[in-house]
Structure 1
Amino acid sequence: MAKRITQKTFDDVVCENMQEFDMSAEEALQEAEQQFLAQGIDLSNIVKDISSHTGEGTTHPVVAAVQNLSGVLDSGDIDPTTVKAALAQIKTECDIDLPHRCLAGSNKAYPVLFKLCQKLSSDKELLKCCVDALSSLLNGQPDLVDQTGIEYFTNLLKDSEESEELCEALVRMIRLTCVMHEKNRQAYVEQNLISVLISVLTAHQKSAGIVKEVCFALRVLTFDDDPRVPFGKAHEHAKMIVAEANALKVILETCNGFTGDVAVLGELFATLSKLAVRNEFCQEIADRGGLQLLMTTLTENMHHQGLAKHSIGLMRTIAGNDNVKAAIVNAGGVELIVGAMGTHQAQPQICENGCAALGTLALRLPPHCAKIVKCGGHEVIIQGMKIHKDVSAVQKQACMALRNLVARTREYCDPILELGAEGLINLAYQQHKDCTDEAKSALRDLGCKVDLIERWKGERGEISQ
């Protein structure tokens, strides 16, 4: 892991280059950057701003902004105009990039903003500005939040349910503190955040902004993206969201209010996909009208790339339930999936989701395989492999789909091989290590030559004492 230095160390070297070697600010900064990179130093947290070295001193604007707000707090004179200007400055600086946020964080920006939040609890307008500044600061820096902050922000969201703008800002900020941070996610869940989020969604089902933010926040609670934690609670959180907060009912009711808004509907479908982690949850989505809504939406918005991706993704997920799988095929789901894959051939995510959905529908069900082949499903799968040769996820799902199509219906081997499947599968096997098992299975069931390793022969032997 590459070493890092502080902003002060970097700035001191820049100043030294300017003073001792008579370099311009630009030359001094470039020289300092090259020196540290040559030493293997990671400068991703360092602000490399020439303007900070063109005047007296080396105070960065983001540091000055934090110091300015801290001074306002210390004075006790919370003038709205002054505070709003200081918050806007911090937000602007933090929005530049992660190094600016890191610099602000290392100069006590979080405790200053948190203290201000507590002081502004009765002023919703200023509080919203403070939360926006916190969102900018905490984006990519979830470690700055402590347990006290988690408890406070959860309660603040609960108490601010009537204020639409503040609710949206708080949900966004909380969501950012959970990205790639399993400890924060679990701490928020322990503070009953799930119920609070569903309550906010119920209260503001007609607000597109809040609906999208709550959906995103719920999905983040089901992420397993923290490399520091070997085992997270993504699955448990998804079950809690559905079982304890009745989320599927609320989300599907919300869907009915946004049938004409493809952006919001896409977020809702993406969230349902993350929550359908159990067989009964898939069935519940179908029973509550989710399947019919899905079919109607995809039919009416076939050419909308984002909604097509999320629609097929949700279909792929709920098809894990055998009853729902049959319902999808009977309702014309195969035709819709094949149509979307043909319409959006250049989009790898649609191709991946489409291959996965067709593979799931085909699994152990010859009548479904017949329907897929009749609709040209094998052709769009092969076409996807040709177009997205470098996309591992597409190749993997395509191999699985082809294998499922012929595993119990060998009569489809020849039509698939005539399209060049063998060469494409071998190419995927050679180029993508995570496709190895899927590619071998597809080649085996298609009747092609494949090198299978016999890992264990089942020979008896003496048991050593």
Structure 2
Amino acid sequence: MAAKRITQETFDEVVRENISEFEMDPEESLNEAIQQFESQGVDLSNIVKMAPNLASENGHELNHAILQTLDLLQKAVVDSDLCEVDELLVSFADQCKQELAIRYLAGQKGAYPAVLAACRLASEDNCSLLKALNALSALIDGQPDLLDNSGQELLLRVLRESRDDADLTLAGIHCVRHACMKHEQNRQDLVKGGILPILAGAIVQHGDRADVVREACSGLRIMTFDDDIRVPFGHAHDHAKMIVVEHDGLKILIEAAKAFTDDCSVLSEICATLARLAVRNEFCQDIVNLGGLNFMVALLADCIDHQELVKQVLNAIRAVAGNDDVKDAIVNVGGTDLIVLAMSRHLGSPQVCEQSCAALCMLALRKPENCRVIMEGGGALAALQAMKTHPREATVQKQACMLIRNLVARTRDFSQPILEMGAENLIVEARAAHRDCDDVAKAALRDLGCKVELRELWTGQKGGLAH
């Protein structure tokens, strides 16, 4: 059942009543209101929780700092006072960055058209435009529905006209990224408007700027997401295909990595983006042909202690291993040993354990010879150790079960050694603890030769259908 919501005005009114009727001090009245609404099951995530300033004469709404700033900004925009607008945009952006509730309140009170008008007013001055874009980015973070067609057109125009300006490019892409997170329509509209060549071009044009490359990679990656629950079918696959086929995305990303051999944050973003683009068999092979596999394996070897980078490299290896020929290439360059080493080194990280098991699982699929290499390299033992270390992490348990199943599905000789490692108890525990693991755990137990208790969902007994 959806949580109940209230308006900011309702919350503020209760705070004020607590002060006037029960003689509470402002802080006490605020805490009482929060407790009162939460006890009623009200979701206060969209509410600015601030004790009112009773000395204000501007009305209770304007006691919120963000609304005071917004009121001044709206007036300055109407007066075309660019100096005042600049100053207020900086203040507005800083306040919006504090929390979503503040951004939400500003959005409810007309901040979007005011900031968009400020962007237009500042269009002839790059310094002012940068401040306006930063304010727009801060406002739409977490509320992409605010962006309309006018905002999309403005962003696309600014990014085209300012492609030589790294700072404006960075700010514009930041807006695009916030606008497209969990918003399929914005993604589709911006792709139709030509955002993909802009993002790919930014990586090439500003290849010496880590922040721009990182942001542009993230922008491309978000275009391949399918995270908007309001839309039954997104265009994630189509967008990934366009990035690769029409805009040479794989080559651009792999080339870009050469300039940032010591920057783990950029390399992580590049690997994460490559993983999202490996959606077709030929794309996986293209990544290998372009040197992407050697690059990823070298990264895993050289940066084994950098947990976030390791996680993203494993994710990318898992993705390209969807191609059977690439599976063999990964094993031939020693990829399996490095994956097992990464899992052992970062055994305390459920994310690394999950990605390691998932990568080994892909390498083992339909490949008995690869299964032998994984077994000899200690892959099964490492996966079981991950299960033991993270009993409450369903994703780790699930991927480990799938790996065990793939290792023995076509090579039954491995069943006994894996059982001697204690696999049966761990898999049974995973099945009992996590509903998501039931099917894969059952399959792993069955292929290990263990007795599996099958549940009959319906036997056809006990009478016919009711009329």
Shift of 1:327: 0.7
C-alpha distance in structure 1 between counterparts of 2:138 and 2:110, whole Å: 14
Write the distance in 1 (CA, Å) between the matches of 2:365 and 2:458: 27
1:215 & 1:39 partners in 2: Cα distance? 44
CA displacement at 1:20 relative to structure 2? 2.8
Question: How far apart are the structure 1 equivalents of 2:40 and 2:350?
Answer: 39
Q: 1:380-424 CA distances to partner (integer Å, 9 max, x unpaired)?
A: 011011001111111111001001111111111111111110011
TM-score (norm. length: structure 2): 0.94
Which of residues 375, 395, 398 is equivalent to 2:397?
Answer: 395
Partner secondary structure for residue 224 of structure 1:
coil
Q: Shift of residue 83 of structure 1?
A: 2.3
Matched residues in 1 for 2:8 and 2:102: separation? 10
- Superposed displacement of residue 237, structure 1: 1.4
Shift of 1:225: 1.4
Tell me, yes or no, if the aligned pair for 1:359 and 1:401 is still in contact at 8 Å: yes
Of 63, 68, 72 in structure 2, the residue corresponding to residue 68 of structure 1 is: 72
SS at match of 2:259: coil
AA in 1 matched with 2:387: M
1:445 alignment counterpart: 447
Farther-moved stretch of structure 1 (191-200 vs 45-54)? 45-54
SS in 2 for 1:175: helix
The residue aligned with 1:330 is 332
Match of 2:200 in 1: 198
CA contact (8 A) 1:238 1:277 kept: yes
Tell me how far 1:136 sits from its aligned partner. Answer: 1.2
Identity of aligned residues (%): 48
Q: Over aligned residue pairs, what C-alpha RMSD do you find?
A: 1.7
Residues in 1 aligned to 2:162 and 2:285: alpha-carbon distance in whole angstroms: 35
Q: Cα deviation per residue 1:306-328 (whole Å; 9 max; x = unaligned)? A: 11111111111101111111111
Q: CA deviation at 1:232?
A: 1.6
Question: Contact 1:211–1:264 (CA<8 Å) still a contact in 2?
Answer: yes
Aligned residue in 2 for 1:214: 216
- Asked if 2 retains the 8 angstrom alpha-carbon contact of 1:25 and 1:54, the reply is no
For residues 130 and 360 of structure 2, the distance between their equivalents in structure 1, rounded to whole angstroms, comes to 46
Displacement of 1:156 in angstroms is 1.3
CA displacement at 1:130 relative to structure 2: 1.1
Q: Name whichever of 298-307 and 396-405 sits farther off.
A: 298-307
The answer to whether the Cα contact below 8 Å between 1:52 and 1:61 also exists between their aligned partners in 2 is no
Letter in 1 for 2:276: K
C-alpha distance in 1 between matches for 2:79 and 2:92 = 19
Contact 1:26 1:50 in 2 (8 A): yes
Aligned amino acid, residue 28 of structure 1: S
Structure 2 match to 1:8: 9
Q: Which amino acid aligns with 2:414?
A: Y
**C-alpha separation in 1, matches of 2:54 and 2:260:** 51
- Tell me the CA shift for residue 78 of structure 1: 1.8
Structure 2 equivalent of residue 183 of structure 1: 185
Q: Could you tell me which residue of structure 2 aligns to residue 41 of structure 1?
A: 42
Q: Distance in 2 between matches of 1:230 and 1:53?
A: 49
* Contact residue 319 and residue 357 of structure 1 kept, 8 A: yes
Q: Which residue of 2 aligns with 1:277?
A: 279
SS in 2 for 1:257: helix
- Give 2:78's aligned amino acid: D
**How many matched pairs?**
456
Which stretch has the larger CA shift, 258-267 or 399-408?
Answer: 258-267
**Matching of residues 68-217 of structure 1 within 5 Å:** 68-79=72-83, 82-217=84-219
Distance 1:54 1:379, change over 3 A: farther
Q: For the structure 1 residues 457 and 10, does the alpha-carbon distance in structure 2 shift closer, same or farther, using more than 3 Å as the test?
A: closer
Q: 2:362 aligns with which of 360, 363, 376?
A: 360
Rounded Cα–Cα distance in structure 1 between residues aligned with 2:129 and 2:291? 40
The 3 A distance-change label for structure 1 pair 391 and 53 is farther
Divergent runs of 4+, >6 A: 454-458
CA distance in 1 between counterparts of 2:28 and 2:313 reads 53
C-alpha displacement at 1:212, in angstroms?
A: 0.5
After TM superposition, the structure 1 = structure 2 runs for residues 267-416 of structure 1, keeping only pairs within 5 Å, are 267-416=269-418
1:28 and 2:29 matched: yes
1:363 Cα deviation from its structure 2 partner: 1.3
Cα distance in 1, alignment partners of residues 314 and 80 from structure 2: 55
Distance in 2, matches of 1:456 and 1:15, equals 59
The TM-score with structure 1 as length reference comes to: 0.95
Return closer, same or farther for 1:419/1:18 CA change in 2, 3 Å cut-off: same
Measured against aligned partners, the alpha-carbon deviations of 1:137-156 in whole angstroms (never above 9, x if no partner) come to 11111111112211221121
Residues 417-456 of structure 1 aligned to structure 2 (within 5 Å): 417-453=419-455
Q: Distance in 2 between matches of 1:54 and 1:89?
A: 22
Distance across 1 between alignment mates of 2:51 and 2:269: 41
How many Å separate the matches in 1 of 2:406 and 2:359?
11
Is the Cα contact below 8 Å between 1:396 and 1:435 reproduced in 2? yes
- Bigger drift between 325-334 and 235-244 goes to 235-244
Mark the runs of 5 or more structure 1 residues left unpaired by the alignment.
459-465
Quick one: distance in 1 between partners of 2:32 and 2:458? 59
Q: Deviation at 1:457?
A: 9.9
Distance 1:293 1:136 in 2: 35
Instruction: Tell me how far 1:455 sits from its aligned partner.
Output: 7.2
